[in-house]
Structure 1
Amino acid sequence: MTDTLRGEDAALVAVQSTLAGRPGVLPGARALSHFGEHSAGWVAVSLLGALVQPRRRRVWLAAGWGAFVAHGAAVVIKRIAKRERPHHPSIAVNVATPSRLSFPSAHATSTTAAAILLGRATGLPLPWLLVPPMALSRLVLGVHYPSDVLTGVAVGAVVARTVGAAVGPEGDR
């Protein structure tokens, strides 16, 4: 392997050199990583919403289900693609991961699905507020290439659309 930075390795190093040293960025990225692990944080949020708004339980539970299904879809794709995580010596890996597989980012996938579906439940622009920080955190942490994250966002959006269609218009405010 050569030490020359090219393509996505160069992009990843650029993101890390620009952001990782800023106060609070690494701890914040690690917190997002732990929250999004196996979609557990999003499932917990959806369960809490279902408890707080029992009349809208179905749409809240659909958000958790969508996040979980999106995570599962990402895991299946990872096992087919078998792309390894970034490993260039210039890329700092700032968090432990459950596997060496990278494509797509399961965090970006489940967060996108959750944000879209929770946005339906709350009427808030959650995709715009939640997806960029989670996606960027995966780069700052050095555990995904930009294409892993972008593909995860796309897969998550497809899962959210499918789950949203299954829930029907009652998910809209």
Structure 2
Amino acid sequence: MPSSGTAKFNDVEADLLVAVQDLAPGWAAPAARQLSHFGEHGLGWYVLAGLGVAANLRGGDTERARIGRRRWAAVGVSAFTAHATSVVVKRIFRRHRPTDPRITVGVGTPSRLSFPSSHSTSTTAFLVAVARITGTPLPLLGAPVMMASRMVLGVHYPTDTLAGAAIGAATAGAVTEIERRTR
């Protein structure tokens, strides 16, 4: 049974979630569902990382192509490792998804566990890793989009998405640094 402090915190987060859903334009929920399907278990990110590796196959056995393949493989490893970490953390914390009757749930989920958001975790890991290898922060703009989509769909509290993003960013930082140091 949650403590009264935990219950009050969940009430505040539920209020925030209701506000996000109330402010979302009509197109947001359908777009969020598409993002949800793309990011399920990180699969869309793994495919994009694989395409990055494949694009560097055209360079043959040049140093540049080898580094490109390693970097894109690290992007995929970042997303996978972040996702796996989120699954373990979910099983430790065992926080249930939002159940407030004011919240509209717009997509099915593979589990009832909410903290952290695995979509936010793998997405942020992928995008941070891409930003590091491309040298531009532009990919990072996608992380808050995925985070907001999970709230628009009513399947995560705000802290679920924030924690997921933090885990994803830390994972990508570690994996890309390991790739760089072992090149």
Give the length in aligned residue pairs.
166
In the alignment, which residue of structure 1 is the partner of 2:179?
A: 167
Choose which of 144, 149, 152 in structure 2 pairs with 1:132. 144
In the alignment, which residue of structure 1 is the partner of 2:154?
A: 142
In the alignment, which residue of structure 1 is the partner of 2:50?
A: 47
Which of structures 1 and 2 has the bigger CA Rg? 2
In the alignment, which residue of structure 2 is the partner of 1:69?
A: 81
After the TM superposition, list the runs of 4 or more consecutive aligned residues in structure 1 that deviate by more than 3 angstroms: none
**Residues 1-173 of structure 1 mapped to structure 2, 5 A cutoff:** 6-19=11-24, 22-54=25-57, 55=65, 56-168=68-180
Assess if the C-alpha contact under 8 Å between 1:118 and 1:126 holds in 2: no
For residue 170 of structure 1, report the CA deviation from its aligned partner.
9.3
Structure 1 length normalisation: TM-score? 0.91
For residue 124 of structure 1, report the CA deviation from its aligned partner.
3.2
Instruction: Tell me the alpha carbon deviations over residues 81-106 of structure 1, each in whole angstroms, 9 at most, x when there is no partner.
Output: 00000000000000000000000000
C-alpha RMSD of matched pairs (Å): 1.8
Instruction: Give the residue type in structure 1 aligned to 2:22.
Output: S
Instruction: Tell me the alpha carbon deviations over residues 59-100 of structure 1, each in whole angstroms, 9 at most, x when there is no partner.
Output: 001101110110000000000000000000000000000000
Q: Hey, what's the Cα distance between the residues in 1 that align with 2:181 and 2:52?
A: 18
**Percent of aligned positions with the same letter in both sequences?**
49
Gaps of 5+ in 2: 1-7, 58-64
Structure 2 length normalisation: TM-score? 0.86
